Amino acid sequence: MSPKQRRGAETAERLLDAALTVYSEAGEQGVTVSALTRTSGVSLGSLYHHFGSVDGLMNALVVRWLGRLLEHLGGALAEPRGARAGIESIVHAYLSFVRDHPDEARLLHSAYADRLGMEQARQLRDAQEARLSPLTRWLEGYVAAGEIADLPGPVLEALVLGPVIGFARGWLAGVSGVAPDEAARLLPDRIWRSLEP
């Protein structure tokens, strides 16, 4: 990487880090050009050069952390032996990510990320396909073995991740009196029952 490319990458990183900081401190409404340039120390021109707009920067931030969450989930599937153990691993991995990265998780579970997901669902899915593939292949393998109900992939994903995402949203919003570790203990068995053939 040339020195110019390295500086460009460092500038983009500073802007992404600043966007998360500003979002965490001030919410979506606080993510303004002036807040981003002040927090990052990067010029307005650099922001537009690297991301095209504030929305472009925020989209890149969501995609970055969605990718990291999916990588974390994929890693959780590398070790378990059996379908039920895999469900436990996925739930534990998701909720440990949320617990350990609350600011990032708030962004991923935000109305902003929901809007992005609805507007650009196909592009996001395509961009994250490599990270989604381990979960899809894992589920398909256990469906083929008869250990998980033979349901369409999107339905299986909803049964596995839907309850976890629902809990995470409540916990991140401060309306859940249950800690992520407790939910990680309780949810896998309930999810497993919905997946049994």
pLDDT at 120: 74
Q: What letter does residue 177 receive in the DSSP assignment?
A: -
Residue 28 contacts residue 112 (beta carbons within 8 Å)? yes
pLDDT at 89: 94
Angle between helices 83-100 and 153-172 (to 10 degrees): 30
Query: Which residues make Cβ contacts (< 8 Å) with residue 43, sequence separation at least 6?
Result: 37
pLDDT at 131: 62
Predicted confidence pLDDT, tens digits, the chain (197 residues): 787 778 878 999 999 999 999 999 999 999 999 999 999 999 999 999 999 999 999 999 998 998 899 889 888 888 768 999 999 999 999 999 999 999 999 999 998 888 887 777 667 666 666 666 788 888 999 999 999 999 998 899 899 999 999 999 999 999 988 999 999 999 999 999 999 99
pLDDT at 83: 93
**What whole-number distance in Å separates Cα of residue 72 and Cα of residue 74?**
5
The two structure tokens encoding residue 164: 């976890």
The two structure tokens encoding residue 196: 């049994």
pLDDT at 130: 60
pLDDT at 126: 64
pLDDT at 58: 93
**What whole-number distance in Å separates Cα of residue 197 and Cα of residue 194?**
9
